[in-house]
């Protein structure tokens, strides 16, 4: 079964600085998707960035970028020029690309336990 591990329960960063959140995963599949979700105090889960495993190029969305190391099964999130509004819980998630109806093992998003990011002025 696939697992997702976030080993940093909490991180902090100064405003305008850069911070990297770690995520590792375990899978025997070769084709899958990886996601970073942000959960602010409002509780709303918001997709930050998504990476397809078959793409070698690291995904980037404005100040957010990932370092995807497929062989090492590592998927870290880098936040540049941190802002106060970036303070939130961040969850790494995995999903198989092989979606088979009736098999939740392939249909579900598998989440890590989250990293709480604090941003200081």
Partner 1 sequence: NAGVTQTPKFQVLKTGQSMTLQCAQDMNHNSMYWYRQDPGMGLRLIYYSASEGTTDKGEVPNGYNVSRLNKREFSLRLESAAPSQTSVYFCASSEGLGGYEQYFGPGTRLTVT
32/54 Cα distance (integer angstroms)? 8
From 8, 52, 64, 116, residue interacting with partner 1 (rule: CB under 8 A): 52
Q: Are strands 74-79 and 19-21 parallel, antiparallel or unpaired?
A: antiparallel
Q: At 84, is the secondary structure helix, strand, or coil?
A: helix
Residue 45 found at the interface with partner 1 (CB under 8 A): yes
> Within positions 80 to 109, which residues make up the interface with partner 1, using CB under 8 A?
91, 93, 95-102, 104, 106-109
Q: What are the structure tokens assigned to 17, written together?
A: 């600085």
State the nearest-atom distance from the C-beta of 64 to partner 1, in Å: 15
Residue 60 found at the interface with partner 1 (CB under 8 A): no
Could you tell me if 92 and 68 are in contact, meaning their C-beta atoms sit under 8 angstroms apart? no
What is the binding site for partner 1 (CB under 8 A)? 4, 33, 35, 37, 42-47, 50, 52, 91, 93, 95-102, 104, 106-114
């Amino acid at each position: 079964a696939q697992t997702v591990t976030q080993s940093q329960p909490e991180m902090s960063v100064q405003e305008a600085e850069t911070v990297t959140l770690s995520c590792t995963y375990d899978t025997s599949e070769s084709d899958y998707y990886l996601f970073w979700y942000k959960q602010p105090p409002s509780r709303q889960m918001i997709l930050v960035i998504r990476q397809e495993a078959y793409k070698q190029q690291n995904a980037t969305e404005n100040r957010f970028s990932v370092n995807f190391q497929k062989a090492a099964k590592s998927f870290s999130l880098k936040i540049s020029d941190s802002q106060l509004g970036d303070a939130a819980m961040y969850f790494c998630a995995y999903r198989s690309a092989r979606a088979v109806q009736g098999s939740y093992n392939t249909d579900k998003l598998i989440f890590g336990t989250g990293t709480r990011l604090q941003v200081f002025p």
